[in-house]
Structure 1
């Protein structure tokens, strides 16, 4: 659902010195973002694999940002999720639901063995929308138990997790994943906002998935999956 091609995104990331890039377009429930159907995602996975095979200097992975439904279910079934290298699960609807509801949805999503990260966990948009009434302590505890990372979304309108929650996550042994929320090559420039937010939360290099080598990150991602 971005403005640039996959090849352009990969080249822009390589020029910035990135060692890996994962394409995580939205799933079909995100109508506003032109979310992908299972069929479209399957075709994109195949396309990414072909592009990745011809790249040098950067590793390209196939992922998805999958909507968390009202009952905590995901847009895609496990068979399709298993084909992905990296899965972000996010809430984009019902953000004003009661605390118990939004917390349940997030906790249930983390129980899925293919969910690697919870995207913009509190759903806030600075100056536009308050954060969900989420039990963040319960979310962090579940993330630690299931081996799920929590995103630090670098979009300056999100910065979600915020610094205080980053510190809570780090202290609980939860890994952070800094995402640019880039929908174009220009969006990759937002990374420094996420780095600064994680730093204010006292996150060290080893607390952040982005600092791992492609091989080490792949190994970490596999630890949650069924054997």
Structure 2
């Protein structure tokens, strides 16, 4: 949403790097600081993705969002919009001292939320993490079948290796995401992989080591469980 690169450029770069799929997860409409995407613009992006999937061979582009978890625990798009996406990432980007644990739990209880991004909210050397009961978050992630992110961006690395290991021990799946806003940010993936290795994660623990159809099944299982 706040990048100067096109979806086609992103997809072609991902293909060049050997990816077989990539999710486009723009910030949602309330994220004005990041040119968050309102519903009508989102629908145009879906059409663009559909066209690009017929144009570019060898890679599948998934429609997604990084939807804001608002101060009252609701999500920044209604369920009828979230239901049309291939994958939904939810995150807190404001109100860092406002009922963070309850908001994260509410988001995970939504059947369309597949991944919680940067779950502790830390920014290395800039900001401590949220005031969050991580034990409670992990329990609900396990109960609901919600994956947690290892954000690979160099000043996040969130979850940490220790917390990623805790999550995996509880049967929670992880997703290593670059948080890329520029093509050069793809290189952050190696930092996220480093976190996963230090956590002794295996391919079975990490969503984006799986074939695409298995990820689709993972998302569908949560919807069937909670709907």
TM-score by structure 1 length? 0.96
Which structure 1 segments of 5+ residues have no match? none
Query: Contact conserved, 1:126 with 1:157, CA < 8 A, in 2?
Result: yes
Aligned to 2:34: 33
Alignment partner, residue 96 of structure 1: 97
The answer to whether 1:11 aligns with 2:9 is no
1:222 is aligned to 220
- Which aligned runs of 4 or more in structure 1 are off by greater than 2 angstroms? none
1:191-222 superposed Cα distances (whole Å, 9 cap, x missing partner): 00001111111211110001001111112121
Residue 57 of structure 2 aligns to a residue whose secondary structure is coil
After TM superposition, the structure 1 = structure 2 runs for residues 115-154 of structure 1, keeping only pairs within 5 Å, are 115-154=113-152
Deviation at 1:115, TM superposition (A): 0.2
Q: Secondary structure at the match of 1:224?
A: helix
Q: Distance in 1 between matches of 2:197 and 2:42?
A: 34
Contact 1:96 1:132 in 2 (8 A): yes
Residues 13-37 of structure 1: per-residue CA shift (max 9 Å, x gap): 0010011100000001111111011
Given that 1:169 and 1:175 are in contact with CA atoms closer than 8 Å, whether structure 2 keeps it comes out as yes
Specify the alignment match of 1:85 in structure 2.
86
Deviations 1:60-95 (A, max 9, x none): 110000000111100000100011000000000011
Residue aligning to 1:49: 50
Q: Indicate if the aligned counterparts of 1:49 and 1:61 stay in contact, CA closer than 8 A.
A: no
Q: How far did residue 186 of structure 1 move?
A: 1.0
Which position in structure 2 is the counterpart of 1:209? 207
3-state SS of paired residue (2:158): coil
* RMSD (Å), alpha carbons: 1.0
CA shift digits 1:40-60 (9 cap, x unpaired)? 111111211111122211111
**Post-superposition shift, 1:224?**
1.3
Give unpaired runs (5+ residues) of structure 2: none
Q: CA deviation at 1:3?
A: 2.2
1:59 aligns with 60
TM-score by length of 2: 0.96
Q: How many Å separate the matches in 1 of 2:136 and 2:95?
A: 19
Alpha carbons 1:153, 1:159 under 8 Å: kept: yes
Task: Measure, in 2, the Cα distance between the counterparts of 1:169 and 1:109.
Answer: 17
Tell me the residue number matched to 1:156: 154
Counterpart position of 1:195: 193
- 2:184 and 2:150 map into 1 onto residues whose CA distance is 18
Shift of 1:120: 0.5
**Inter-partner Cα distance in structure 2 for 1:185 and 1:125:** 21
Cα distance between partner residues in 2 of 1:184 and 1:56: 22
